[in-house]
Amino acid sequence: MFHPRIISGPQIGTAWYGTHIVIIRCNFQTGEILSLFTSDHAPSEPAAKTCAETLSRYISIGYTLIGAYSLNESEIQYILQYR
């Protein structure tokens, strides 16, 4: 059953609902994480030393992988979305 959320205006101190994006850039030859960017107020986990562990942490809290893009001969960028 769908229950719409009625919001009459900004509510200080409440969680922001919506879509969040996380971008994780990795060296796929070494497995090392190079950078991690998140949207403001996004649910997050601390980055691990390895890309695989960092991806695993974000997927385990509800993020969905929406894209993986090769940036050059050694870097890949993952884009994850949380709804």
CA distances to 6, 12, 13, 17, 41 from 9, rounded to whole Å, are 9, 10, 13, 13, 18
In a domain, 29, yes or no: yes
In a domain, 58, yes or no: yes
Is the per-residue pLDDT at 19 higher than 90?
A: no
How does pLDDT run across 20-61, given as a tens digit for each residue? Answer: 999 999 999 999 999 999 988 888 889 999 999 999 999 999
Per-residue confidence at 83, pLDDT binned at 50, 70, 90?
Answer: confident
In a domain, 53, yes or no: yes
In a domain, 27, yes or no: yes
Nearest Cα neighbor of 54 from 19, 16, 17, 80 is: 80
In a domain, 2, yes or no: no
Residue 47 tokens read as 């980055």
In a domain, 78, yes or no: yes
pTM: 0.77
Q: Up-side HSE of residue 76: CA atoms within 13 Å toward CB?
A: 13
In a domain, 9, yes or no: no
Number of domains observed in the structure of the chain:
1
Q: Show the domain range for 65.
A: 20-82
pLDDT on residue 54: 96
pLDDT on residue 18: 75
- 3-state SS, residue 44: coil
